[in-house]
Amino acid sequence: MSTAVHLKGVSVAYALAGGGKYEAVQPVDLSVRDGEFVALLGPTGCGKSTLLNIAAGLMAPSSGTCDIFGERLSGLNAKAGYLFQQDALMPWKTAEDNVAIGLEVAGASRREAHEKARAMLAKVGLSAFGDRYPHQLSGGQKKRVALAQVLVREPKILLMDEPFGPLDAQTRLIMSELLLDLWQQDRKAVMFVTHDLDEAIALSDRVVVMSAGPASRFIGEFTVHLPRPRDIAEVRAEPAFHRLHAEIWSCLRDEVRKTYGLPGKAGAEQGAV
Amino acid sequence: MPISRGKLLGLQILVAVGVFAFWHVVTNWSVVGDVKTMRFFFSTPYDVIVRVFSMFMEGSVYRHLWITLVETILAFVIGASLGIVIGFWFARKPLVAAVFDPYVKMMNALPRVVLAPIFALWFGLGIWSKVWLGVTLVFFIVFFNVYQGVREVPQVVLANARMLGMNERQLLRHVYWPAALAWVFSSLHTSVGFAVVGAVVGEYLGSAAGLGYLIHQAEGVFDVTGVFAGMVILMGFVMLIDGIVTLVEKPLLVWKPGETKTV
């Protein structure tokens, strides 16, 4: 399988107002194979979203390179779809128009774009909500529209920045299920940024753990050997899930404590991130 | 607390009746001062209503209304167009905005009334001096709103639109333009109101027609009834235009979150 995203020696530093610079991310290497679901896991403020923005071409790295399917990325990544954490729908367009616009600006006829948009909205369970404006939708529904907006363009790579972070626990489960279902149908390469350990294991093939910022780096990489297709609710009950959870948590725990200014703790203690 | 439409209208009418009743009492009985003096300064509600009625009956007022309406529409259209174009330009070119910033502030701080005589000199006593006076008022409101609207498009909406493959032209059409338009519409009542103010003040300071001219004429001969009649007609005119604005903006701002009603 070919490599969809290849970050090589990518580092990020910001210039500080008073001179000098702030090193956010130390040089890291990361490659995501075509069809692979990779979760980037780390405590708040560790620069995971920054790496995602670099893969999207929204941001340039301070050093290092980003290759997309073997081609050096300059400018925006046209092969990628980006699902933002915040609400990014255009409030002045209906759900259907929001989904169709990505096809229309790419040159599709209005009819064709809207037919595909309707089909995609049906897939995310919103066929009755096409004529609603974003403010008339719930948080979960808006997220579904955003997912449809990204998927309808059939990107080769999916970049997701804690997409389900702002949702409540139940809606998150439902959204994760929906995402896995859709992803199972045609496996794209996925870079999924999250701070939720359960979510990372349940969804992905591989979990990459980042240290706390500043100057964060990769501190662990874990392959998830859980069979697919997965049932999000059931997979959490499997012993393999718990073993991996404990393993990753012991790697992550000290980093999380660091973020809150607490000393590292030796005893293995289970908990959520 | 929700108020029913009928109740609200009833209360609003009650306020008008109260004001007219008070006016009627003080100009018919010597409560505050001598009736004759009071009538000289304040006329009477009855006289004013009769005057308004007769002005419409004999038809002399229509020409003046028409002139003021034309001036208002021209002032609004020209002012809003200039405001939109220049607002967009400034918002997209920070250097231009930074260079012109102090001048824009200076121009906006200038009381527009002082421009009226110079505009009369430049554009004559016809409608154009009034139109341009209105333009100077409307322009700044629309300009500031468009500038703000374009600048305050959420970064994440912009980034998303870019990731969806929009180029600059498409961003302008699908993101910046609707965002700016929402701000223009939210200020529509104010800017249309200012277009009327520009027209009437212009007429008042030198003209041969229009509602401002009517009021000025009446004032010149101490015809207080005429002044009040002109004011009443002007108020009705403004209410009518405001109603039309409300009708126009409703379908255009359907995407804006408003109050959610339960049934």
Q: Which two tokens stand for residue B110?
A: 């200038």
Phi, psi torsion values for A235, nearest 5 degrees = -60, -30
Give CA–CA dist A54/A48, Å, rounded.
10
Q: Which chain B residues touch A91 with a CB distance below 8 Å?
A: 157, 255-256
Between CA B152 and CA B160, with CA B155 as vertex, the angle to 5 degrees is 130
The pLDDT, as a whole number, for residue A272 is: 45
Which SS3 state, helix, strand or coil, does residue A190 take? strand
pLDDT of residue A270 exceeding 60, the answer is no
Q: Which chain B residues touch A81 with a CB distance below 8 Å?
A: 163
ipTM: 0.87
Give chain B's domain count: 1
Cis before A229? omega within 30: yes
Give CA–CA dist B113/B206, Å, rounded.
12
Chain B closest-CA separation from residue A102 CA (Å): 5
The pLDDT, as a whole number, for residue B255 is: 81
Inspect the interface and report whether the beta carbons of B165 and A88 lie closer than 8 Å.
no
pLDDT tens-place string over residues B51-67: 999 999 998 899 999 99
Q: Compute the average pLDDT of residues A213-220.
A: 85
- Other beta carbons within 10 Å of B113: 12
> Helix B61-92 to helix B211-220 angle, to the nearest 10 degrees?
120
- How would you list the strands of the sheet with A21-33, edge to edge? A21-33, A3-15, A63-68, A71-72
Inspect the interface and report whether the beta carbons of A105 and B165 lie closer than 8 Å.
yes
A139, A175 Cβ separation under 8 angstroms: no
Work out the burial of residue A170: count CB atoms within 10 Å of its CB; fewer than 13 is exposed, 13-18 middle, 19 or more buried: exposed
Question: For testing the chain A interface, which of B150, B156, B162, B163 should be mutated: the one with the most A CBs within 10 Å?
Answer: B163
Stretch (H or E) spanning B75:
helix B61-92
Give a yes or no: residue B4 inside a domain: no
Work out the burial of residue B200: count CB atoms within 10 Å of its CB; fewer than 13 is exposed, 13-18 middle, 19 or more buried: buried
Chain A closest-CA separation from residue B158 CA (Å): 8
Give a yes or no: residue B31 inside a domain: no
Give a yes or no: residue B73 inside a domain: yes
Give a yes or no: residue B167 inside a domain: yes
pLDDT tens-place string over residues B20-53: 999 999 988 888 888 888 888 899 999 999 999 9
Give a yes or no: residue B28 inside a domain: no
Closest CA to A253 of A233, A270, A236: A270
Q: Name which of A87, A133, A149 is nearest B164 (Cβ-Cβ).
A: A149
pLDDT confidence band for A268 (50 / 70 / 90): very low
The residue count for chain B: 263
Q: Which chain B residues touch A153 with a CB distance below 8 Å?
A: 164-165
Could you tell me the residue range of the domain that residue B133 belongs to?
61-252
- How would you list the strands of the sheet with A37-41, edge to edge? A80-83, A157-161, A189-194, A37-41, A206-210, A218-223
Question: For testing the chain B interface, which of A83, A92, A103, A162 should be mutated: the one with the most B CBs within 10 Å?
Answer: A92
Please give the C-alpha separations between residue A99 and each of A94, A142, B21, B160, B166, in angstroms, as whole numbers. 9, 11, 60, 12, 13
Residue of B nearest to A106 (CA): B165
Give CA–CA dist A151/A182, Å, rounded.
9
Give CA–CA dist A51/A59, Å, rounded.
9
Q: Which residues lie across from A68 on neighbouring strands?
A: A5, A71
A245, A209 Cβ separation under 8 angstroms: no
Chain B closest-CA separation from residue A150 CA (Å): 7
Each of the 263 residues of chain B gets a pLDDT tens digit; together they read 677 889 999 999 999 999 999 999 998 888 888 888 888 889 999 999 999 999 999 988 999 999 999 999 999 999 999 999 999 999 888 899 999 999 999 988 988 888 888 998 999 888 999 999 999 999 999 999 999 888 889 999 999 999 999 998 999 999 999 888 888 887 888 899 899 999 999 998 888 889 999 999 998 999 999 999 999 999 999 999 988 888 888 777 778 776 555 55
DSSP state, residue B141: H
Q: Name which of B164, B167, B254 is nearest A102 (Cβ-Cβ).
A: B164
Q: Which two tokens stand for residue A193?
A: 């940024």
Give a yes or no: residue B54 inside a domain: no
Please give the C-alpha separations between residue B108 and each of B5, B6, B142, in angstroms, as whole numbers. 39, 42, 12
Give CA–CA dist A49/A216, Å, rounded.
12
A162, A193 Cβ separation under 8 angstroms: yes
**Domain containing residue B222: CATH number:** 1.10.3720.10
- Other beta carbons within 10 Å of A104: 20
DSSP state, residue A58: S
Give a yes or no: residue B211 inside a domain: yes
Closest CA to A65 of A114, A125, A6, A112: A6
A256-268 burial, b if ≥16 CB within 10 A, otherwise e? bebeeeeeeeeee
In the block, residue with structure tokens 């308004």: B52
Give a yes or no: residue B156 inside a domain: yes
pLDDT confidence band for A271 (50 / 70 / 90): very low
Inspect the interface and report whether the beta carbons of A105 and B257 lie closer than 8 Å.
no
Which SS3 state, helix, strand or coil, does residue A23 take? strand
Q: Which chain B residues touch A76 with a CB distance below 8 Å?
A: 162-163
Cis before A91? omega within 30: no
Phi, psi torsion values for A188, nearest 5 degrees = -100, 165
Contact residues for B95 (Cβ-Cβ < 8 A; gap 6+): none
Closest CA to A245 of A204, A197, A206: A197
The pLDDT, as a whole number, for residue B68 is: 93
B130, B202 Cβ separation under 8 angstroms: yes
